[in-house]
Amino acid sequence: MTSRKLLKDCFLTDKDRLSHEECLAILTGRLSAVAGVEELPLAKTSRRWLAADIIAPRNVPLHDNSAVDGYAFAAPAAGPMPVVTRIAAGDLSSHRLEPGQAARIFTGASIPDGADTVAMQEDCTVEGDRVTVPLDLKRGSNARRAGEDVAAGSAVLQSAARLRPQDMAALASFGLARVKVRAPVRVAILSNGDELLEPGAEIAQGQVYDSNRSMLHALLGTMPCEVTDLGILPDNAALIEATLADVAKTHDVILTSGGASRGDEDHIINAIDTLGTRHLWQIAVKPGRPMSFGQIEDCVFLGLPGNPVAAFVCFLLYVRPALTILGGGSYREPVRFPVAASFDVPGKKPGRREFWRGWLEPGDDGRPVAHKFARDGSGLISGLRKATGLIEITESVTSVARGGMVSFLPFSEFGIDS
Ligand SMILES: Nc1nc2c(c(=O)[nH]1)N[C@H]1C(S)=C(S)[C@@H](COP(=O)(O)OP(=O)(O)OC[C@H]3O[C@@H](n4cnc5c(N)ncnc54)[C@H](O)[C@@H]3O)O[C@H]1N2
Ligand code: MOO
């Protein structure tokens, strides 16, 4: 990473602050994969980033086989046929039919040489050792061809792909027992603020329970990460600096929340400036204005704002892409769905991008319509809980009218299940 644009002014207007696009470009442009590569048993690789391309080593299925329980024959059939053999799934012996003969066959069993079609048993008439199949059955019906799922030699998955449950099925279907994947990114998390308290402790006026760390743990659980929890750090500049310097030696990422602005008791930014390099701080995004990104030696620093909604939104928008790239994954932008708004927002400040908490419901014509959580405060966890996604309002927009189109980003696009 090299430093490009450092922001020294803590009184920036939205116009001077980095835009969402610039922020993403800095993150994605300056980061590269740091996670190691390990070869693991297939069952241990779910949700990891692949570290090598996967080429199918053989056809799947390996042999032509029956899709149904029934009778195999060579189409077209002319009348009753003698049933000369019986083939079950897993039968490894070879079978051959002469023209006009049929084989009793079961789902998954190899189709015998000389046959190309299978009739479902429900559609057949059996008399003694002869079977009559539907005479108009098309050649190839109910026959699954070798390689019809995946042909040997085809490129199936590229390095940096995320292994999803269906990919696990594909790798197993090729007979792969071990897979090269990226190791988890080593992330240290901490919360900063004298007012913060661990859940379970006795609370007093002026204190708040630390909710960000539980939320961040859960969010990090959606990514291949190994999390070190450093707990709550008080507003003590020397302690913050010493902790960050120490932790940076053994982690790929330090993720903090709180203390990100430039209040007298916000020491995180100062610590980064002293120990390393700040690549961005202050963005024209709501919520999330004091989001920061920097480095201490080779350790990436990601500083989230303290307000829980801002921490959540910035995690999705910026931490997730950063962890993806550092982890050796391929980053893709979340899909944005254009939907009609069910609400009016007459005045929005121009020059900054806003992410409102929202959800979809069917409108009068059955199409999805976006609803917005009425209150905007970025301390309101209730809004995050009610929401199933973010409504994105770009910089140039100054109002939204009921029925107008807005972009909806479902949380599922960020790896969060409903
Ligand atoms: N004069 C200004 N004040 C503020 C500005 C500003 O630009 N000028 N920005 C506001 C915005 S926007 C945000 S967001 C917050 C973020 O500030 P910090 O990152 O420095 O966060 P704190 O001041 O430490 O905390 C803000 C708020 O969030 C609560 N908090 C912090 N950590 C946690 C946690 N782990 N769990 C639950 N709640 C937490 C904290 O108690 C505060 O209420 O600053 C605005 N102010
Ligand atoms: O932008 Mo702050 O990040 O709204 O709460």
Q: What is the pLDDT of residues 137-176, one digit of tens each?
A: 999 999 999 999 999 999 999 999 999 999 999 999 999 9
For residues 234 and 46, what is the distance between their CA atoms, to the nearest angstrom?
Answer: 37
Query: Residue 303 C-alpha to ligand 1 middle, in angstroms?
Result: 12
- Which ligand is nearest the CA of 232, by number? 1
Interface confidence (ipTM) of the complex? 0.96
pLDDT per position as a tens digit, 3-15: 333 334 444 566 6
- The CA-CA-CA angle for residues 317, 234, 223, to 5°, reads 30
For residues 137 and 72, what is the distance between their CA atoms, to the nearest angstrom?
Answer: 12
CB-neighbour burial class of residue 337 (10 A; exposed 0-12, middle 13-18, buried 19+)? middle
Pairing of strands 65-66, 143-144: antiparallel
In tens digits, the chain (418 residues) has pLDDT values of 433 333 344 445 666 789 999 999 999 999 999 999 999 999 999 999 999 999 999 999 999 999 999 999 999 999 999 999 999 999 999 999 999 999 999 999 999 999 999 999 999 999 999 999 999 999 999 999 999 999 999 999 999 999 999 999 999 999 999 999 999 999 999 999 999 999 999 999 999 999 999 999 999 999 999 999 999 999 999 999 999 999 999 999 999 999 887 767 778 988 999 999 988 888 999 999 999 999 999 999 999 999 999 999 999 999 999 999 999 999 999 999 999 999 999 999 999 999 999 999 999 999 999 999 999 999 999 999 999 999 999 999 999 999 999 999 999 999 998 7
Q: Which of 97, 289, 200 is nearest to 213 (CA)?
A: 200
Give DSSP secondary structure letters for 54-88.
Answer: EE-SS-BSSS-EESSSEEEEPSSP-S-EEEEEEE-
Counting every residue, how long is the chain? 418
For residues 149 and 59, what is the distance between their CA atoms, to the nearest angstrom?
Answer: 8
Query: Residue 251 C-alpha to ligand 2 middle, in angstroms?
Result: 27
For residues 69 and 259, what is the distance between their CA atoms, to the nearest angstrom?
Answer: 67
Name the residue at shortest CA distance from atom 6 of ligand 1.
261
Ligand 2 pocket, residue 310 CB under 6 Å: yes
| pTM, entire model | 0.92
Beta bridge partners of 277: 295
Closest ligand 2 atom, CA of 313? 3
Name the residue at shortest CA distance from atom 43 of ligand 1.
307
Is there a contact between 352 and 374 (Cβ–Cβ < 8 Å)?
A: no
For residues 90 and 108, what is the distance between their CA atoms, to the nearest angstrom?
Answer: 8
Ligand 2 pocket, residue 307 CB under 6 Å: yes
Q: Which of 289, 292, 355, 384 to mutate to test the pocket of ligand 2 (most atoms within 8 A of CB)?
A: 289
Query: Residue 305 C-alpha to ligand 2 middle, in angstroms?
Result: 7
Query: Residue 268 C-alpha to ligand 2 middle, in angstroms?
Result: 16
Q: Quick one: DSSP state of residue 129?
A: T
For residue 378, the model assigns a pLDDT of: 95
Is there a contact between 162 and 329 (Cβ–Cβ < 8 Å)?
A: yes
